[in-house]
Chains A and B, each alone.
Chain A
Amino acid sequence: MKILTRSRRGLAALAAATIAVTGLSQVNAFAATKITLTEEDYFNTPGQLSGLASYTKQFEAAHPGVTVKRQYVPFANLDTKLLTQATGHDLPNLLAVDNPFVSTMISTGQVVPMSGMKGFSTKGYYPAVINEGLSNGKYYSLPVAGANSIALIYNIAMLKAAHVNPPKTWAQLVSAAKALTTPKRYGIALTCEAAEDTTWQWEPFFWSNGGKGTFANVASAPGVQALSLWKQLVTDGSASKACLNWSQTPAASSQFIAGKAAMMVNGPWNFPTLNLNHMYYGKQFGIVPVPVRVPGQHVVVPLGGEDWMISNSAGSAAQQLAFEYIKGMQTPAQELKLAKAFGYLPGKIAVAKTYLKQVGPEWKVYIDQTLYARPRTLGLGVKYPKISQAVWTAIQAALSGSQSVQAALKTAQSQINTILKS
């Protein structure tokens, strides 16, 4: 028994020591008069890092005494981390989240609406961009560096050699992919891994074909036709079955760059890597909108990108300051600068037009389709991630052959119905 008492005493001493140490650091924090804004995001490409850093530097110079402390969190873990921090009422002042996650953050009640803040305006934004943060008539978010979406990128030389034109319809896509397939390469690189980017890749096919934004009709004709198209590409041998393991970037994009696929559906963030591998727009690769089933259908793409949100973990003065940080990014000059650094499209219509003139024609398709783009969480909010999972599971089941297209979508439909009702 004696030993136990002693070890308990030891523990108490240890605890006292740690409290003393942390207590000291606490004092230092209070002694400082400067304001520090904390910020969390998952940006990791060189362009994103330098774009963000140079803006922060500029902001700090314009606001003496203010420091913005950035914390990188891995993409796969930012959502979990933010939710944990929300539980502890310890969110960073500024958070940059992937746009499908905006609704979830709003539902925690730990982020504040920006609509009431001094200088807030929704003027000029693409509806899809600004509506990402709309909840109960209040706006909770503004874009970080604009938005992005996907289109069909093709290898010009390969299409020329096979005498095919860039496909505009699904029938053309199927025959083009077949014609482009050789023993050494596939016609198209699909993305069908068990993750959000698979649903995101499939959405333009489904939505453009009359699929509902809520996926309420996923097992009806629009869904069955769209998934049968993918299935056919795989059964024809025009798309590799290995796509079940592929992310859009870098797995599918690397296939395209290595010449192992003649086409891919992908976004503008690939431009720097393509150029690095001596592939340039108009010379080595071209871009057309994602093909539609019948001519005349509008291409509806999902909108990607990150949004700023402000937490309530600090007082209103700090919240307003955090808003100043975000607001400063929304000027046309900053939007252009950041969109270029990130490889995104500016979030405002007028700025996007200027952007197109400055950056080049490879952006045209992406910019044109933004007007018809759709935020993924619109009308779904926090339900989107669950629905997305049901969809990618169905895509995987159908393409791997474990279920027929109809059966896979029926399973997804019943899951989605339950989620929608909840």
Chain B
Amino acid sequence: MTHLQRSKTLRWLCTLATAAALVIVLFPVYAVIVGSFESTQTLFSGTYYWLPHGATLDNYRTVIQAQSGHVLTSLIVGVGTAVLALIVAAPAAYALAKYRLRVTVILVSSLLVCQIVPSIVLATSLFIVFHWTHLVNSYPGLIIADGTYAIPFAILVLRAFFFSLPNEVMQAARVDGASEWQTFHRIVVPLARSAVITVAVFAFLSGWGDFIFALTILSGSGIEPITLGIYTYLGNYSTDWGAVMASGVFAMVPAGVMLVAAQRYIASGLTAGSVVG
């Protein structure tokens, strides 16, 4: 086998593996989309239909009317989480990457530890703290709660990227008379664009997809994200699976659009810091 042939076979194998992975990952999404056009009776008929059987738009009629407000709430929470994560994480990551602090090791490992704690444990204690500080039932409360996951992750990713920036860039800026803050937000942040976008997207998604914090922190304030909204259809005496599926699809659209738009940056953002140890 020549070298060319071998690389060709390898490429085929890779494509095949990717295709298989894609099928596994996308099948649930496909099933949700098909289900969203079917009635609950059809869903439980015991036969799986590859294309919607007795297709109906009823589910969407129910859902779009009831859930549009919730999607808006989720957008606010998602964007809020992304902004908060960037405001806190970008300077923190920069400091942890570029300054030799005594506590760096402790700080970085505690950031990792933060992500081990299950959110339900955090939610309960946050509820008590927020109750004292009157943050329950508010957007800021929910956004800060969602930040507990988004921020540590953002710091770790951004720190890896800032490591890879050559120190000479910053030194040059300083020679030109830039203050540290100016160097950071005029030079470093623009250079880190793809990492910043990656982090923002992941922070957005953690706010967008959060259920536990929203459930714990919100009650009776009229603020209700789509993740809670979906549960309107899951009850003790009746469950409208068709509507659950349609809400799922409805909730996928904005996040999906954003991910596709940011895709280019995400790939480079995630790999950016990887060459530096």
By a beta-carbon cutoff of 8 Å, the part of chain A in contact with chain B is 1-4, 6-7, 10-11, 14, 18-19, 21-23, 25-26, 38, 40, 42-45, 48, 69-77, 80-81, 84-85, 87-90, 92, 98, 242, 247, 249-251, 254-255, 257-258, 260, 269, 273, 277, 343
Contact = CB atoms under 8 A, between A and B. Distances in A.
A372 to B, nearest CB: 23
Given A45-B237, A76-B231, A257-B41, 5 more contacts: A44-B237, A69-B220, A254-B43, A258-B45, A260-B45
A116 B71 CA distance: 45
Contacts of A255: 44, 46
B86 to A, nearest CB: 12
Contacts of B237: 44-45, 48, 249, 269, 343
B219 interface: yes
Contacts of A74: 215, 228, 231-232, 234-235
Contacts of B94: 3
Q: Which of B220, B228, B237 has the most CB of A within 10 A?
A: B237
B124 to A, nearest CB: 5
A92 B219 contact: yes
13 contacts: A3-B94, A4-B99, A11-B88, A22-B135, A25-B134, A25-B138, A69-B220, A72-B232, A81-B219, A84-B127, A84-B216, A98-B236, A343-B237
A77 B231 contact: yes
Interface string B125-138: 00110010111101
B123 interface: yes
A310 B232 CA distance: 24
Contact of B87 (A14, A85, A247): A14
Contact of B219 (A3, A73, A250): A73
Interface of B: 40-41, 43-46, 87-88, 91-92, 94-95, 99, 101, 120, 123-124, 127-128, 131, 133-136, 138, 140, 144, 180-181, 184, 215-216, 219-220, 228, 231-239, 241
Contacts of B228: 74
Given A19-B133, A26-B134, A255-B46, A273 B236 contact: no
A22 B127 contact: no
Contacts of A250: 40, 44, 238-239, 241
B235 to A, nearest CB: 4
Contacts, number: 131
A45 B133 contact: no
Contact of B136 (A19, A77, A90): A90
Contacts of B45: 254, 258, 260
B197 to A, nearest CB: 21
Contacts of B128: 87-88
A367 to B, nearest CB: 18
A335 B163 CA distance: 69
A75 B92 CA distance: 41
Contacts of A71: 219-220
Nearest to B241: A250
Nearest to A10: B87
Contact of B92 (A7, A81, A84, A258): A7
Contacts of A254: 40-41, 43-45
Given A88-B131, A90-B131, A3 B236 contact: no
Nearest to B89: A7
Contacts of B233: 44
Nearest to A77: B215
Nearest to B130: A88
A268 B43 CA distance: 23
Contacts of B232: 44, 72, 74
B114 to A, nearest CB: 16
A11 B144 CA distance: 12
A410 to B, nearest CB: 31
A45 B234 contact: no
Contacts of A85: 127, 219
Contact of A3 (B88, B91, B133, B216): B91
